[in-house]
Structure 1
Amino acid sequence: MRIVLLGAPGSGKGTQAQRLQAKYGVPQVSSGDLLRDAVARGTELGLKAKAVMEAGQLVSDDIVLGLIRDRLSRPDAAKGFILDGFPRNEDQADSLNELLTSIGQPLEAVLLLDVPHETLMQRLAGRRLCPTCGSVYNVHSLDGATTCPKEGTALYQRPDDKEEVIGKRLEVYAQQTQPLIEYYSKLGLLRTVAGEGELDSVFERMEAAALAKPVSAASVKVRKARPQAKKAGAQKSAKKSGKKSAKKAPKKVITTPARKSAKKPARKKAVKSGKKVASRKVVKKTVRTAAKKTVSRSKVARKRAKAAARKK
C-alpha cells in the first residue's frame, strides 16, 4: 500500500490515515510531523529546517524530500506508506515521483477525500485535538466534553482552526493543491472517495479504494475472430436455434446443343451406335411424295375405268 492522501483541510485525511496505519501496519508519513520530529531530535535536516523556520521562511522542498527519504528507509515502511500533507503542488509532485522511483517504491494510488465546503467549515471550526495521543475530535460529537476520552487530558484547538483563518486556508488549498487532482488523474492514479458520513463508512470506502488494483491497458488484449471462426459460430448458433442452414443447389444451365440432345435421346443413341437417322425435313418430304403418288395413281385408275365403260 503506497498511497498519497489528498483533500482540503478538515476532510479527514489524518483520521483515515491513522485507521489505515492501525489495520495494515504501514506508517502514516506527514510532512508536518516529520519536521517537528526532526527538529526535536536535532538531526542534520532538523537543524536546517529549524533555522529556516526561525527566520520566518518556508522550509524548502529539498529538506522535506530528504526527510521523506529518511523516513521511508526505515524497516516499518518496507510494506508501504501513507503520505499525508505532501505534495502540495505540481512541482512537489514531480519531485516526489522522482524520489519514489529512485528508491523503488512508486505510488500505487492517490485517494481524494471529497467533502463539501459547508461541511469543511463546520469540521474545522469544531475540531479539537488531544496533546497526548494526537486523537482528533469535534465539539459537535463530544456532547460538551472538553477532555480526551482515552487520556483524560484537556483538548485544544489549533490556531489555524479558528474561523478567521479557515477561509484563507481553503483559498490556499484551492489555488495550490487542487490542481493536483487533474495532475494525478492524468497519471491514472486518482481515486475519489466520498468523505461525508460515519467514520466507519468513510473508512470502508477508503480501504476499498486503497486496495483496488488497477488494470493496465497493456495487459488487456483484444483478438479479432477469424472469418472461418465466425462462420462456424454462425452455423453452431443456427443449429442451436433449430434452423438448418441449407445450401442452395446451383441452377443447371442447359445450352442449345444440350437441349436438342435432351429432346432427341433416340437420335443421340443412334449416332453413338453409328446408324444414320433421317432428319425431320427428309421424313416430311418423303411423306408428301408418297401422298402425291397415291393421288396420281387413283386418278389413273379412274380414267381407265371410264374408258372401259365407254367401249362396252
Structure 2
Amino acid sequence: MMRIVLLGAPGSGKGTQAQRLMAKYGVPQVSSGDLLRDAVARGTELGKQAKSVMDAGQLVSDEIVLGLIRERLSRADAANGFILDGFPRNIDQANALNALLKEIGQPLDAVLLLDVRNQTLMQRLAGRRICQKCGTVYNIHSLPPGTTTCAKDGTELYQRPDDKEEVIGKRLAVYDQQTKPLVAHYSKLGLLRKVAGEGELEQVFERMEAAALAKPVPASKVKVTKTRAASKGKTSAAKSAKPAARSASKTSAKVKAKAKAKPAKQAAKKSAKKAAKKPAAKSKAPAAKRKTSAKVAKKSSKRAAAARRPAKKAAGKAPAKAARRVTKARKKK
C-alpha cells in the first residue's frame, strides 16, 4: 500500500519520480493537470464544467478538481494506493483533500517533499523539453548535443510556455506564497518526509522509495528492553565509575581545604604586618611595680624623717642642759 502526496517547487522532479514509483509499485500517478486534460478530452460531466471555466479564462474550482480526484481513485488500479502530484496547492485544498480521503477510506501514508535549490530549479525548468506524444520529460543539459526528438518514438520535443525564463520567476514566487506553507501543515500532522532532490536520478529515486515505504511507529508501541550485555556494560561502567568518583571526591576535598586555608593564611599575614607597624604597648606589670616602689620609697623617707626628728631634739637639748649646769655651779660659788 502506498498512498502519498508529492510536494516540491516547479522543476523539483515530482513528475519524473512519480512515474518511477508508479512503474515499480503499480500504483497510479494522479496529477490534477492530467485529470483536467483527460476529462475535457473525454467530454465527461466534470470535464465539460472545467472546459467552460477555462474557456472563460478563470481558474477551475477546488470542487471540480476534488470531484475528478474522487472519480480517479474509485478505479480498480487505485485500490492499492496512489501518488498525488500537483494537488493540494494550498492549506484549504489540503483540508478538503483530507476530508475526501477520510470519506472514501484511503488516508495518506506520507507526504514527500523534494528539496531542491533555486539555482538548480532554474536550470531544470529553463532546459526542460517534453515529448508531445508520450509525455516523456528531457533536459537539454543532459541530452547529447543537437538532440531534438524523443528517444522512444522520435517525436519532436517542445518547451512548455511556462518553462520560459521570464515565467519561471513568477512560478517560484507563487509556490513560495501558496504551496510552501503546506510543509509546516503536514509536519504538524506527522506526515512530512523531506527528500534531497539533487543528484543522479537513481540516487534520488532510492531516497524517494525509502521515504515512501517507511512506516511511522506510534510512541505507544515503542518498547525499550534491556539486554544482558547492556546491563553488564552498565554494571562494569558503574564499578569503574566508583573509584573515579572517590578520587574525584578526594581531589575536590583537597581543593576545598586549600581554598579555605588560603584566606586564613592571608589573614594571618595581614595581622602580622599590622602588629609590626604598631608601636609596642607599655606593659601594665612594670607600671604597677613602679607604683609600688614609689610607695615604698615614700614610706621609708617618712620613717627616716621621723627617726631624725628625735635626734635633732636631743641634739638641741644637750647644749641647753650643759649651760644650765654651768650657771648653777657658778651660783654656788
- After TM superposition, is the score higher than 0.5? yes
1:151 is paired with a residue whose SS is coil
Cα-to-partner distance string for 1:90-143 (whole Å, 9 max, x where unaligned): 000000000000100000000000000000000000000001111000001112
Cα-to-partner distance string for 1:244-263 (whole Å, 9 max, x where unaligned): xxxxxxxxxxxxxxxxxxxx
Where does residue 118 of structure 1 map in the other structure? 119
Cα-to-partner distance string for 1:223-272 (whole Å, 9 max, x where unaligned): 9x9xxxxxxx89x958xx7xxxxxxxxxxxxxxxxxxxxxxxxxxxxxxx
Highest Rg: 1 or 2? 2
Where does residue 172 of structure 1 map in the other structure? 174
Q: Distance in 1 between matches of 2:25 and 2:224?
A: 36
Q: Distance in 1 between matches of 2:223 and 2:206?
A: 32
Q: Distance in 2 between matches of 1:81 and 1:200?
A: 21
List gaps (5 residues or longer) in structure 2: 240-333
Where does residue 140 of structure 1 map in the other structure? 141
Matches within 5 A, 1:80-159: 80-143=81-144, 144-159=146-161
Give the residue type in structure 2 aligned to 1:205: R
- RMSD of the TM alignment (CA)? 2.0
2:157 is paired with a residue whose SS is coil
- The 4+ residue runs of structure 1 with deviation greater than 3 A are none
Q: Distance in 2 between matches of 1:217 and 1:50?
A: 48
Where does residue 12 of structure 1 map in the other structure? 13
TM-fit CA distance, 1:216: 1.2
Cα-to-partner distance string for 1:175-228 (whole Å, 9 max, x where unaligned): 0000000000000000000000000000000000000011112323579x9xxx
1:38 is paired with a residue whose SS is helix
Q: Distance in 1 between matches of 2:19 and 2:53?
A: 29
Where does residue 42 of structure 1 map in the other structure? 43
Q: 1:160 aligns with which of 159, 162, 174?
A: 162
1:129 is paired with a residue whose SS is strand
- Structure 1 or 2: larger helix share? 2
Q: TM-score, normalised by structure 1?
A: 0.72
Give the residue type in structure 2 aligned to 1:17: A
List gaps (5 residues or longer) in structure 1: 226-232, 242-312
1:197 is paired with a residue whose SS is coil
Where does residue 61 of structure 1 map in the other structure? 62
Where does residue 206 of structure 2 map in the other structure? 204
Q: TM-score, normalised by structure 2?
A: 0.67
Cα-to-partner distance string for 1:56-99 (whole Å, 9 max, x where unaligned): 11000000000000000000000000000000000000000000
Q: Distance in 2 between matches of 1:108 and 1:90?
A: 18
Give aligned-pair identity as a percent. Answer: 79
How many residue pairs get aligned? The number is 232
Where does residue 191 of structure 1 map in the other structure? 193
Where does residue 217 of structure 1 map in the other structure? 219
